[in-house]
Chains A and B, each alone.
Chain A
Amino acid sequence: MKKDIRFVQGNEAVVEAAMYADLDFFAGYPITPSTEIAELLAYRLPKKGGKFIQMEDELSSMCTIIGASLTGKKVMTATSGPGFSLKQEAIGFAVMTETPCVIVNVQRGGPSTGLPTSGSQGDVMQARWGTHGEHAIIALTASNNQDVFAITVDAFNLSETFRTPVILLLDEVVAHTRERLIMPKPGELNVVKRLRTSVPKGTDYHPYLPREDGRLPMSDFGGVHRYNVTGLAHDMWGFPSNNPKIVYGLMRHLVDKIQGHTKEVTRIKEFFIDDAEYLLISYGSSARTALHVVENRRARGERLGLLELQTLWPFPVDVVQERCASANCVMVVEMNMGQIFYEVKKAVADPQKVFLANQIDGSFITPTDILNILRIIQGKGA
């Protein structure tokens, strides 16, 4: 069969993948550089009977998708830096109420209004800790359109599997780069359906009583089971509770269901890792620059390798530790002041061998930015 090959930008790849993953409902607010996602879905969703709504602000678009998700729909919103800040309280609500949803944050330069049309990876820690309170979260990223497609489908799958908001942490460069996308055929990628309760009408359904495997089958609003959903700490009925025993159980569950499945959630790509003396670790658009450097140096016989992270949170500590063990030097390549760099330092046995090659001025990180640091590490002078 002929391949369906498209020439699209990253934001379009997100839209195609979301439709592939059975997206039903999107709410958003215009913001550069994510707006194309909303524009395309306004056109695409009603064609299949789905719903699109442009809300009055970023906060309400986050809240709206949570409401829609509780009725059994697959939902998504898309935003960028300032909008991501505004959505944080409601993201915490989705964490607490275990409501599946996907939040795309196309990162741009910050803080504040920052650099709306420039790439950045400054929201890595905000994705982890943006909403208040102790919690776990899943955040994914990708560096090219083909991977953006796959990771977007994954975002929906993990969101349904773990009943959690999943943050798709793209950046302006990936979102606006036009390149080839080979459309996966139906059935080629796994699409996880919502797990619904088998508890029949008339029998007590406990919306917040995890099964033995930690999963909580859902019941759609409008269905036969009427229950309470609250952002307050709650018991298995979904009713508010401040009983320390119940709160402890809830907190452990919220964290363990994700942190305890780090291996299952981890997505990485490896390039020339096995014999790498110098191991680069990168993600998102900066991984493209890192890969360019690695391939060029390999052609010259230098042993460079690249570990590309697609799962940023939960941070794949074990994988990073293991892959870094045999490298003489590790260099984290990112467009911030070291948000993943410090995570890598924490993960490895000998943190003094970890270096940072970064770019924070709004321009895209270049091979020279990486090579300059490499020269210093190799003792060749600046």
Chain B
Amino acid sequence: MAVKDYIRERFFPHIWCPGCGHGTIMGSMIRAIENLGIKKSDIVVISGIGCSSRICGYLDFHTLHTIHGRALAFATGVKLSRPELTVIVPMGDGDAFAIGGNHLIHSARRNIDVTAIIMNNNIYGMTGGQYSPSTRYGDLATTAPYGNIDQPFDFVKLALGAGASFVARTTTYHATSMIKILEKAITHKGFSVVDVLSQCPTYFGRKNKFASPVDMLKYYKSQTTPIGSEAKEKNPDLIERGIFAQEERPEYCVEYDKIIEKASQRKVTNGKV
């Protein structure tokens, strides 16, 4: 199928600003799904609130646009009741790690087979450019007019610490390798976190001396490096990208099947007795 077969053209044009990275992520996500050959009716995409979350409306899957920060909780309900479905949760940085941080770490701890894609643009875009948990120290935002004094989270370290069994980072500049990473994340049996650095030229770029979206993409090119590269040894400030963890661990829905077997004395597959 073509990319357009996965989108709801009826609901275009989308709301994202010119130069926004989120469309690139949507494109890579569609291509990953296409490559994996998963049927559209077997996919549920669940989002929270923010620019990122509007992705739901545009995709021709079962889509659930929920409330701020709680997308993973809704996803837990969908996945646990229908484990055979592929559940993907695109989230913004604030959605995933500020208001929704609790659900992210607990989803990771449970290792429920859901793919969390963090569309990380270091800013609250929908509300007009306030600092987020990934805004760097010193960056400007409408709520940090004198520079941000909060320290940012390293989402990869946080996801690893919480026990996510698949953790990766990529950027919108690396759209092609993003497809491969998303394929692996979606296929991974367990909780996957993919931190995707995504440019917000309108609110982050404009305030922080990026002249254009292209400059932001160039930044992702020059300031990131593959995991364990020589460049990283020379310049520790570079941000590593690639797959940080890919481990086989007991998955929550599979474990729950065992509970049903124990309680009901009957054989269970994919949650069905």
Contact = CB atoms under 8 A, between A and B. Distances in A.
Interface residues of A, number: 45
A221 B76 contact: no
Contact of B41 (A61, A68, A226, A228): A226
Nearest to A57: B102
Contact of B67 (A49, A51, A63, A221): A63
A46 B258 CA distance: 10
Contact of A231 (B67, B80, B106, B271): B67
Interface in B71-96: 72-78, 80-82, 84-85
B56 A56 contact: no
A86 to B, nearest CB: 11
B273 A67 contact: no
B273 A222 contact: no
B74 A66 contact: yes
Contacts of B64: 67, 70, 221, 228-230
Main secondary structure of the interface of A (DSSP, over half): mixed
Interface in A217-271: 221-224, 226-232, 237, 239-240
Nearest to A201: B41
A53 B67 contact: no
B40 A59 contact: no
Contacts of B176: none
A61 B102 CA distance: 12
B44 A221 contact: yes
B34 to A, nearest CB: 16
B62 A67 contact: no
B260 interface: yes
A190 interface: no
B137 interface: no
A227 B60 CA distance: 8
Instruction: Find the residue from B46, B80, B81 having the highest chain A CB count within 10 A.
Output: B81
A228 B63 contact: yes
B67 A226 contact: no
Interface in B96-117: 102-103, 106
Contacts of B11: 239
A71 interface: yes
Interface residues on B, range: 35 or more
A222 B41 contact: yes
Residue of B46, B63, B268, B273 contacting most chain A CB atoms (<10 Å): B63
Contact of A46 (B8, B44, B60, B259): B259
Contact of B78 (A67, A224, A226): A67
B62, B66, B271: residue with the most chain A Cβ atoms closer than 10 Å: B62
B221 interface: no
A221 B82 contact: yes
B248 interface: no
A70 B273 contact: no
Contact of A47 (B66, B73, B263): B263
A2 interface: no
A27 B76 CA distance: 10
Contact of B66 (A222, A224, A231): A231
B65 interface: yes
A59 B70 contact: yes
Given A55-B76, A222-B41, A228 B57 contact: yes
Nearest to B83: A51
Contacts of B272: 49
A64 B76 contact: yes
Contacts of A27: 76-77
A65 interface: yes
A70 B44 CA distance: 11
B264 interface: yes
B154 interface: no
A43 B66 CA distance: 30
A48 interface: yes
B4 interface: no
Contact of B57 (A48, A71, A240): A240
Interface string B26-47: 0000000000000011101010
Interface in A24-59: 24-25, 27, 43, 46-49, 51, 53, 55-57, 59
A59 B74 CA distance: 10
B78 A70 contact: yes
B153 interface: no
Contacts of B85: 71, 221-222
A120 B260 CA distance: 37
Contact of A63 (B8, B57, B74, B271): B74
A373 interface: no
Contacts of B73: 55, 59-61, 63-64, 67
A363 to B, nearest CB: 37
Interface in A85-126: 89-90, 93
Nearest to B252: A53
Contacts of B10: 237, 239
A68 B81 contact: yes
Nearest to A93: B67
Nearest to A89: B67
Contacts of B56: 228, 230
The 10 closest A-B pairs by CB, nearest first: A67-B77, A60-B73, A63-B73, A49-B273, A46-B263, A68-B77, A64-B77, A67-B74, A230-B65, A56-B106
Interface of B: 8, 10-11, 40-42, 44, 46, 56-57, 60-67, 70, 72-78, 80-82, 84-85, 102-103, 106, 256, 259-260, 262-264, 266, 268, 271-273
7 contacts: A53-B256, A60-B106, A63-B73, A68-B80, A222-B62, A229-B63, A231-B67
Given A60-B72, A60-B103, A239-B10, 18 more contacts: A25-B80, A25-B81, A49-B264, A55-B106, A56-B102, A59-B73, A60-B102, A61-B73, A63-B70, A67-B64, A67-B77, A70-B78, A71-B78, A71-B82, A228-B8, A228-B57, A232-B65, A237-B10
